[in-house]
Amino acid sequence: MPSLFKEERIEQLKARYEMPGIKPPALYNFVCFEKWLPIREELDGWFQMLTTDSQEKFLVNFWNPDAFIQSYNELNAVGLFLAKGFQAHYEPVIDDLTPDWLIETKDRSFILEVFSRLPPADIEARDRQVTDLWDRLLEIKIGANLLLSYEKLRDLPELNPQINKAIARDVRLWLSDEVNLVSGSEYATMGLTFTLASFDPRRARVGLAGPTSSAFFVDSQPVKKTLDEKVKKYAELAAMNGLSLVVGIAPSFTSGIDEEELDDILTGDEVFVVSADGSGHRSRKNNGILDKRPSLAAVIGIWRENFALRTIVVRNPNAELPLDEYILDPNPC
């Protein structure tokens, strides 16, 4: 039986990245760490439902470290339909375009195009520096359990390796004074506040808890723009071939995009309207994608939470080629 996770490929990946000074990519962490086994088993089950031709093409992208995240999201998205027994073709060539999936049902075939929403480059760069600071603090050889906090992650000072090194040094000096090794004592530096939760002399190093990501400010416009571009790209292709068009959106955790933001993107930004008499009510602007793009049959939001796949399906009431409800029901048949 074909498998997405052949031992030969895993060993090749380990040989490539298990070397001093090399930071392994997300593909390595996902494939080699035991904690991701439940998701790997779920993905492998879906992979085995694909045709041989689709499996061969998918393997190439999935095992490419640069294409892994996108491929991972593509399989999460199509799993909803594979579980229903529909047939899915990966990267079919249709009129010189290559959508991610062509899915066949007994009533209508449709295109499923998936895109991944990663954090903006500046947020991603900041998060890397937060991780660097975190790693330096964990190297402090004092048995203190610390809580790290700051008012707003987007107001975090500009970190870099030199500043991170200085902060870690200052925290080490603070903890080196026994007077400070009392639960509740605090130390503030550069907008960061460290609180001593407890001290255990048996511990070899610092323990640390607190925020590690700066995705508290959510900008949904890039998602809206990309979604609109996807629809425009495939609208004519779908119409000419009698295919419905579905787009899957897989936001990363650090993008901050969840159901509320997706609802704004699809149905219009929510606003509070105040009447002349002082009363008010919630309404939506006429700037949602669904009103604007009748060629779009539905949008699927895809998230992973505590290893479980969570999907929401939003149907377009204005769709020119709608799909039957049983096709888009997020629950397997």
- Which three-class secondary structure string do you get for 196-246? EEEECCCCCCCEEECCCCCCCCCCCHHHHHHHHHHHHHHHHHHHHCCCEEE
pTM above 0.85, yes or no: no
- pLDDT at residue 13, as a whole number: 93
In whole angstroms, give the CA distance from residue 36 to residue 31: 7
Grade residue 157 by pLDDT with cuts at 50, 70 and 90.
low
- Say whether pLDDT at 156 is over 70: no
Assigned CATH class of 51-119+219-328: alpha beta
- pLDDT at residue 220, as a whole number: 72
Q: What percent of the chain has pLDDT over 90?
A: 51
Mean pLDDT of the 196-216 span: 74
Helices (H) and strands (E) in the chain, counts: 11, 12
Q: For residue 181, give every residue at least 6 positions away whose Cβ sits within 8 Å of its Cβ, in sequence order, or none.
A: 144, 175, 196, 199
- pLDDT at residue 210, as a whole number: 63
Tokens, residue 39: 């998701």
- Say whether pLDDT at 73 is over 50: yes
Mean pLDDT of the 304-312 span: 87
Could you report the per-residue pLDDT of 249-295, keeping only the tens digit for each?
998 755 667 888 888 889 887 656 566 665 666 667 778 899 999 99
Please count the other Cβ atoms lying within 10 Å of the Cβ belonging to residue 63. Answer: 19
Mean pLDDT of the 169-182 span: 93
Could you report the per-residue pLDDT of 93-138, keeping only the tens digit for each?
999 999 999 999 988 899 999 988 765 566 667 767 877 888 889 8
- Say whether pLDDT at 202 is over 70: yes
Count CA within 13 A, CB hemisphere, residue 127: 16
- pLDDT at residue 81, as a whole number: 95
Q: Is the dihedral of CA 228, 233, 234, 240 positive or negative?
A: positive
Q: For residue 63, give every residue at least 6 positions away whose Cβ sits within 8 Å of its Cβ, in sequence order, or none.
A: 9, 13, 27
Sort residue 226 into left (φ over 0), alpha (ψ -120 to 50) or beta. Answer: alpha
Out of 31-40, 45-54, 154-163, 308-317, which region has the weakest mean confidence (pLDDT)? 154-163
- pLDDT at residue 2, as a whole number: 84
Q: Is the dihedral of CA 240, 243, 245, 250 positive or negative?
A: negative
The full length of the chain comes to: 333
Enumerate the domain spans of the chain: 51-119+219-328, 122-209
